[in-house]
Amino acid sequence: MPLPIVEFRDVAKRFGHLVVLEGVTLSIQRGESIVIIGASGSGKSVMLKHIVGLLKPESGQVWFDGTRIDTLPERQLMLIRQRCGFLFQMGALFDSLTVGENIAFPLVEHTRKNPDEIRQVVAHRLAMVGLPGVEYKMPAELSGGQKKRVALARAIALDPEVILYDEPTTGLDPVRADVINELIIKLQRELHTTSIVVTHDMASAFKIADRIVMLHAGKLIIDGSPQQIKDSTNPIVHHFVVGEADEKELSVLKG
């Protein structure tokens, strides 16, 4: 096996008394497209944040391309973060900056490119996400789907080796959601990145993933191909994939 690009070794994380991760072990190979599924609150965003050192484990280790990162000082973590594009769950564009300035932000911060070179990269990234020429718009002028694509253009500004997507299709209609799915697949192909995608959206998961893992009660309870997930007889996995509430979940509706 080649060196994994991202590795969790027996990671545990809690906030006060709330145990979120409990012995999570996972190796992600370079070039993989892996999807993390799990119920709301199961710790999917918490997992992603460990990959870029925004959160640190209680115990266990997190590795990035052969470097243990959970013990790295902030300055060295910055170098790891520059190798990752992060599409945050809440979009998080700077509302007071134009689209172009939003995408230029990481380039200004972390490269020595001159303004002309930066303009070229911004234009290229916007073309890649299918929004050429919107540099001078303000985020408020864009639809939800367009904002996600601009946030994605910003996430890929520094040519990341790994792109982390936190719920990239949430809040979009099925057609717009599928545009994002296709974009994830296209970026994977064109930039030869590793994609780590957190989603609730099973249609999206099955379309994007080479491999799917499911987080439940602090642990990864399944790790397999999309077909293996579809065929799983584990009741928790099956229940989630089919998306039907059970008696207990429906009981909250009965006053």
Ligand X SMILES: Nc1ncnc2c1ncn2[C@@H]1O[C@H](COP(=O)(O)OP(=O)(O)OP(=O)(O)O)[C@@H](O)[C@H]1O
Could you list the residues that contact Mg ion (CB under 5 A)? 45
In angstroms, what is the minimal distance from the CB of 49 to Mg ion? 10
The answer to whether residue 20 forms part of the interface with ligand X (CB under 6 A) is yes
Paired with 21 in beta bridges are: 13
Q: HEC profile for the chain?
A: CCCCCEEEEEEEEEECCEEEEEEEEEEECCCCEEEEECCCCCCHHHHHHHHCCCCCCCEEEEEECCEECCCCCHHHHHHHHCCEEEECCCCCCCCCCCHHHHHHHHHHHHCCCCHHHHHHHHHHHHHHCCCCCCCCCCHHHCCHHHHHHHHHHHHCCCCCCEEEEECCCCCCCHHHHHHHHHHHHHHHHHHCCEEEEECCCHHHHHHHCCEEEEEECCEEEEEECHHHHHCCCCHHHHHHHHCCCCHHHHHHHCC
Q: Which stretch binds ligand X (CB under 6 A): 2-10, 13-21, 107-115, 176-184?
A: 13-21
Q: Which does 204 bind (CB under 5 to 8 A by kind): ligand X, Mg ion, none?
A: none
Q: How far apart are CA 25 and CA 62, in angstroms?
A: 9
Q: Which stretch binds ligand X (CB under 6 A): 36-44, 136-144, 178-186, 202-210?
A: 36-44
In angstroms, what is the minimal distance from the CB of 163 to ligand X? 17
In angstroms, what is the minimal distance from the CB of 11 to ligand X? 13
Cβ proximity to ligand X: between 41 and 144 the closer is: 41
The answer to whether residue 106 forms part of the interface with ligand X (CB under 6 A) is no
In angstroms, what is the minimal distance from the CB of 195 to Mg ion? 17
In angstroms, what is the minimal distance from the CB of 39 to ligand X? 7
Cβ proximity to ligand X: between 35 and 126 the closer is: 35
Q: Which residue is nearest to Mg ion (CB)?
A: 45
The answer to whether residue 41 forms part of the interface with ligand X (CB under 6 A) is yes
The answer to whether residue 169 forms part of the interface with ligand X (CB under 6 A) is no
Look-up of token digits 């490269």: 111
- Choosing from 6, 34, 37, 46, the residue that interacts with ligand X (CB under 6 A) is 46
The answer to whether residue 53 forms part of the interface with ligand X (CB under 6 A) is no
Q: Which residues contact ligand X by CB under 6 A?
A: 15, 18, 20, 38, 40-46, 89
